[in-house]
Chains A and B, each alone.
Chain A
Amino acid sequence: MTDSNVTQLLDRFARGDDSAREELFQIVYQDLKRLSQKALAGRQNRTLQPTALVHEAYLRLVKQEQDYKNRSHFFSIAGLLIRRILVDDARARMTRKRGAGEEAVPLSETLIGVEDEWVDVLDLHASLEKLEAADPQAARVVEMRYFAGLGNEDVAEVLGVSLRSVVRLWAFAKAFLYQELEKGEPHE
């Protein structure tokens, strides 16, 4: 894997080539896995935050100046990555805690969100899967906005839709997910 490789893939992806997106995702995901294993090796009870990992992955993979368009594309992938990392992490914690027996799972460890409105990562993940079935594009909007922090313009750019569509998709996704979560069906 070289920088130019990543750059080329980003370019293809930006021009609308979805196979490039998948390839890029695999590269970045493998890289992130290696990175986090290395970073966590020998460190007990420490987690590297996904934010930090993705920023670093970006810096590592794309060392030269990228135009803004490519950056948005990169971070749209990052959204999916972060989602996956958070879910993996939360599952690992649940398994570990259950394996350990009596110890209760501290809320803060698997919850994300703003104060007073915590969302369980795994619940959110399950709801997102339902959303994906109902409307894959809406699910992508959530990934990009919520997990990667992209603005609506960037999302529109990456998805190749109008800004107005993004606003609508986002409203729908929020309403859909909120309803799902309110139903309170526990994950798994």
Chain B
Amino acid sequence: MSDSPLDPRGKARQIFYEALELDGVEREEFLTRACRQSPEVAKEVRGLLSALDRTRDFLEEPVVQIADESALVGTDLKDYRVLEHLATGGMGSVYLARQKSPPRDVALKVLRLPWPRTSVVRRFEWEAEVLGRLQHPGIARIYEAGAAQTAIGLVPFLAMEFIRGQEITEFVRARSLPARELILLFREVCLAVHHAHQKGVLHRDLKPSNLLVDEAGKPKVLDFGVARSLVRDDPRLTTQTLVGQLIGTLPYMSPEQVRGDSDLDVSSDIYSLGVVLYELLTERLPYDPREENLPEMTRCICEEEPIPMSRIATSVSPDLEVIVQKALRKERGLRYPSAEAFADDLHRALNDQPVRARRLTKVYLARKFVRRHTGLVGGVTLAVVALALAAVISVHERWQADAARHAAVQSAESRRTVNEILMGLIRASEPGSALDLARAREQTVEDALDRLLPTIEGGEYSREVCAPLHALAARVYQRLGRLEDAERHNQLGLELNRELYGEAHLDTAATMLMEGALHYERMRFAEALAVFERCSDVLDGVVEPEHPIQLALANDLATLYQHEGQLPEAEVLFRQALKLRQSVLSEESPDLATAYHNLGSFLLETGRLGESETLLRAGWRIRQQVFHERHPDTLSSIQAMGTLLSKQGKYQGAVDLLNPALEILEQDLGPHHHWTLVTKDLLAGLHSMLGQWRSAFELARDVAWAPPETMSVYQPIRGHSLMIIAQWHVEEGRADHGEKVLRQAYHVAIHGMPRNEELVKGVGLLLEESWAGTNGLWSEEQHSVTRQEIESGKGILPWPPLDDRIAILASSGELEHATQLLRDLLEIDGGAQTRSPRQRIELRQEYAQCLLALEELELAELEFLEAYDESVDTFGGNHPQVLSLLFDLTTCYAALGDSDQADEYRAQLVQTYGVERSGSNKLP
């Protein structure tokens, strides 16, 4: 930079510099003098000076401001004398300052904003005013916020209550504070944070340096809401900026905060509190990033599970472990709903009460377990369904046996009479086969039979005529799921056959076979086996081994063996039956199809899928040729194929195959037929595996809530469906319900007949996981006590679990159904008075709330009023129950458009609330 006098620019610069030192007239005189010889230089200098006049703030606010911390000390900033520099953080520096009026020490935070703009400062002032209203002993007050011109330019500042104290981590470490006192201290922090949350203020930057403990040992939260007032709406000051600037803050940020989500809520603060508590208990942070840089730390926060505290500090109790885990959930919905709830759980842990975190943790683990073991859970379904199918097929065998028996009716006259009666039945039903079950549900066969039977029993016909008709009725009723009627008629038929033909007769044997099958269906397996064995003895003397009824018996026995777990014996019998039929029957014979089908189903259950598929397809092919699509045999083939596909993992294919079959079953057999229910349960399992939880739940619900008497041999599928419902609850975030239903599932699995070991194991494992037994969070003792409780049936809701059903209905939008159930409950209770007054009031309130939601306003009003009167009588005027009813009444009258009444109740609410608040400082 040479200033040669010959260089006009250099000369101009020199004159410019000198002119800078002068003002007004002096400057003008100087310029005139200095530039006399060169108008060019004069123009240059005047241009620069006038430009400088216009620059004002131009370039004065740096892109990055590295303020000199000491620059402000000793100067005045508005009403404050800056005394001492205390600290410098990512967002600025903090000074101790003395306020003139009122005279007090304040902490003056001078913020470093890369781009201070008047609009930012204005908003900041406004927010600070809101923050200033936060008054809580655990929160440092904010006195003033604004911007002031200082030695380092225009700076935004905050004047806050000056706390002489230590950071909470230092305080705890310095005193080696025992865990109990540490928790008590930390609870106060939670409650202070909760206070601010209730005022609608989030902290967003909770970390030890913002949590001081004052000289009296009381914790104080600093900088409430400051982060937000600075970053909001300013595109340059995104959370990302802060992440970079506040690298010390990063470990305390919630995953959603680190990701830069804009819709933070209280759960983000709860997460940060969780990190602080973790650090207080272990003196470490919950994650161990491989490198100390932004991306790696961010990844840890968003993806890694916290290191279990017990691994670092053995003294940390399991309760505290789950509490901290709950606060540190990645999914914000799984954290504590409020800082108060967090504090409450800490309180429980201190007093050795069961903590709330536990319950959620269990199901959280159960959910992870379900994900890990989807295969196993699916396997349970399939085994259960295969079993049920086998039973259905054994029943089907009766058709062949009956055919044989019909042939054995000896008297021509009897045969003619039977035929006439059957013709009458046919005429009474739809066109087509009278025995075609595809039509049976359309009431005609059933109605006709119901009308016919009294005449038969009236003694109008001979015993020879009555015997086969009773057997026929038994068969039809059995198919319709009316097992008691079936048993009654079969018994009558069996007795008549014995009287007419004696024990060693085909007709007698056939009715015995049915007796055994009915025992089986009603879960009397020992009786079933005894009957089958006697039947086998009888038949050996009557017919040759290839006779269809022998084959039917072999099938039934094999099914029973299979059920009893005697698989080799079962397989021998199934294979024998198939071999015999292949040698005797044509390629198109339905009996051959049945033999294919049964062995195929057996192999399906025992996991030999390849051979099973060949056999099942062979059976299905024959049935498609011989029967129409609604024939029970065709449907059972479809079911077996669906099961096979799901075992092969082709879930969607299985669903596509089974859906039409289910439609037919519902139409023809009705919604509560065991076969319909088995198919629904199978479909529910498939939908759950496809992640279609809503559909899974709807199907499983139909099974689980079917009238118990329809379930008979298929009880395990109820257990399985309950399990699916439990998983659905967990998926929907209702973990409490999930566990409740899981307990019911376990109860059914343990006590349901037949006991299905795979189901017991599956549900048991889910429950065990859900009790967090594997995590060592429960002691072995706690675990076994609970297991005993479950096994003995204690702690299980009475069946059916009506309250649970209502909750499910209401939460799944089926309000009308829920309302109906509540009305029924209230009526029943009105007579029986089995509930406590409190339960009754709650029930009525729930009912009224449903009515309100259904816009049955007048009815809702009446019920609310009654519940209100009852609760005032029971609890007195300012009980939380009364308050919540007052609130309901206000809402109800507002909905009715009766603003006078609404106002009156609102006023009463306010009045009562005041009374209540001064009493216990709590509003429901």
Contact = CB atoms under 8 A, between A and B. Distances in A.
A78 interface: yes
Interface string B464-501: 00000000000000000000000000000000000000
B64 A38 contact: no
B621 interface: no
A172 B59 contact: no
Contacts of A60: 293
For A79, A134, A146, which residue has the most chain B Cβ atoms within 10 angstroms?
Answer: A146
A29 interface: no
A148 interface: yes
B297 to A, nearest CB: 11
Interface string A13-52: 0000000000000000000000100110100001111111
Interface in A133-188: 134-135, 137, 142, 145-151, 153-154, 167-168, 171-172, 174-179, 182
B90 interface: yes
Contacts of B547: none
Contacts of A114: 57, 60-61, 115-117
B691 interface: no
Nearest to A41: B295
B114 interface: yes
For B63, B90, B117, B243, which residue has the most chain A Cβ atoms within 10 angstroms?
Answer: B63
B32 interface: no
A35 B240 contact: no
B63 A175 contact: no
B241 A49 contact: yes
Given A86-B63, A115-B119, A146-B59, A134 B245 contact: no
B interface SS class: loop
Given A86-B63, A146-B63, A55 B235 contact: no
A178 B115 contact: no
B51 A168 contact: no
Contacts of A71: 66
A151 B71 contact: yes
A49 B48 contact: no
Contact of B240 (A52, A54, A142): A52
A56 B9 contact: no
Contacts of B9: 134
A104 interface: no
A49 B51 contact: no
Contacts of B71: 151
A127 B245 CA distance: 30
B799 interface: no
B66 A149 contact: yes
Interface string B95-131: 0000000000000000000111111000000000000
A180 B444 CA distance: 99
Contacts of A82: 63-64
A77 interface: no
A117 B238 CA distance: 22
Nearest to B61: A114
A64 interface: no
A105 interface: no
A148 B114 contact: no
B110 to A, nearest CB: 14
Contact of A172 (B17, B237, B293): B17
Contacts of A2: none
B240 A38 contact: no
Given A39-B294, A115-B117, A172-B17, A148 B240 contact: no
B51 to A, nearest CB: 4
B240 A149 contact: no
Contacts of A142: 59
B66 A150 contact: yes
Given A55-B245, A56-B244, A178 B65 contact: no
A71 to B, nearest CB: 8
A175 B245 contact: no
A1 interface: no
Contacts of A62: none
A46 B52 contact: no
B64 A51 contact: yes
Contact of A148 (B55, B61, B66, B260): B66
B63 A51 contact: yes
Contacts of A53: 244
B441 to A, nearest CB: 58
B271 interface: no
B240 to A, nearest CB: 6
Contacts of A56: 244, 247, 293-294
A51 B245 contact: yes
B295 A52 contact: no
A137 B1 contact: yes
Given A52-B243, A55-B245, A174 B63 contact: no
B164 interface: no
Given A115-B117, A149-B63, A175-B48, A46 B260 contact: yes
Contact of B58 (A54, A149, A167, A174): A174
Contacts of B52: 171, 174-175, 178
Nearest to A79: B64
Given A115-B118, A151-B152, A179 B90 contact: no
Interface string B196-220: 0000000000000000000000000
Contacts of A113: 58-59, 61, 115
A112 interface: yes
Contacts of A49: 114, 236-238, 240-241, 244
A155 to B, nearest CB: 11
Contact of B114 (A51, A78, A154, A167): A51
Contact of B241 (A38, A51, A86): A51
B58 A172 contact: no
B13 interface: yes
A7 to B, nearest CB: 18
A152 to B, nearest CB: 10
A174 B244 contact: no
Contacts of A168: 17, 20
Contacts of A52: 240-245
B295 A59 contact: no
B334 interface: no
Interface in A79-113: 79, 82, 86, 108, 112-113
Given A52-B241, A149-B66, A168-B17, A178 B58 contact: yes
B51 A172 contact: no
Interface in B341-356: none
B569 to A, nearest CB: 61
A172 B152 contact: no
Contact of A35 (B56, B116, B293): B293
Interface string B142-158: 00000000001000000
Nearest to A115: B117
B64 A172 contact: no
A55 B57 contact: no
Given A55-B244, A142-B59, A174-B58, 15 more contacts: A35-B293, A39-B295, A49-B240, A50-B63, A114-B117, A117-B57, A148-B64, A149-B64, A150-B66, A174-B51, A174-B59, A176-B48, A177-B58, A178-B55, A178-B58
The 9 A-B residue pairs whose C-beta atoms are closest, nearest first, are A52-B244, A149-B62, A149-B65, A175-B52, A115-B117, A49-B241, A175-B48, A175-B51, A149-B64
26 contacts: A49-B114, A49-B236, A49-B241, A49-B244, A51-B63, A52-B244, A54-B64, A55-B247, A56-B244, A75-B64, A78-B64, A79-B64, A113-B115, A114-B115, A115-B117, A115-B118, A147-B62, A148-B64, A149-B66, A150-B66, A174-B51, A175-B48, A176-B51, A178-B52, A178-B54, A179-B51
Interface of A: 35, 38-39, 41, 46-56, 59-60, 71, 75, 78-79, 82, 86, 108, 112-115, 117, 119, 134-135, 137, 142, 145-151, 153-154, 167-168, 171-172, 174-179, 182
Interface of B: 1, 9, 13, 16-17, 20, 47-49, 51-52, 54-68, 71, 90, 114-119, 152, 235-238, 240-245, 247, 260, 293-295
